[in-house]
Amino acid sequence: PHGNEVLPVSPAERKKRGETPLSEAEEGQRYTVTSLQERDPKLLLFLHKAGIGPGQGLRVASQNYDQTVSIEMVTGNAILGRPAAEAVWLRAAI
């Protein structure tokens, strides 16, 4: 339900497939969320409450000095700290 495969996929393999973590996404670019890291139930709940989930589109407004990421979504804007941004995997929107 969070966009992950049955067997774990390494970050290196995800990057080979064209995915990138939100923490490394380019400012001003549009992306589609491919998956969320599932290890922390509280983090998953936080992301879902913010409207972030697989298939959702977003635009990276800025990668901030304090290691937060500002994003824009149809449901509204959000600022995520580094742990949350590292748990969200994206693919460039076409």
Segment 5-27, tens digit of pLDDT: 545 677 788 788 889 999 999 99
Rg of the Cα atoms in the chain: 12
- Distance, in Å, from the CA atom of 50 to the CA atom of 8, rounded to the nearest integer, reads 25
* 77: β partners: 72
**Residue the block writes with tokens 């969200």:** 88
pLDDT score recorded for residue 10: 75
**Residue the block writes with tokens 């635009």:** 59
Instruction: Dig out the tokens for 2 from the structure.
Output: 């969070």
Global pTM? 0.84
pLDDT in tens, 26-53: 999 999 999 988 778 899 899 989 999 9
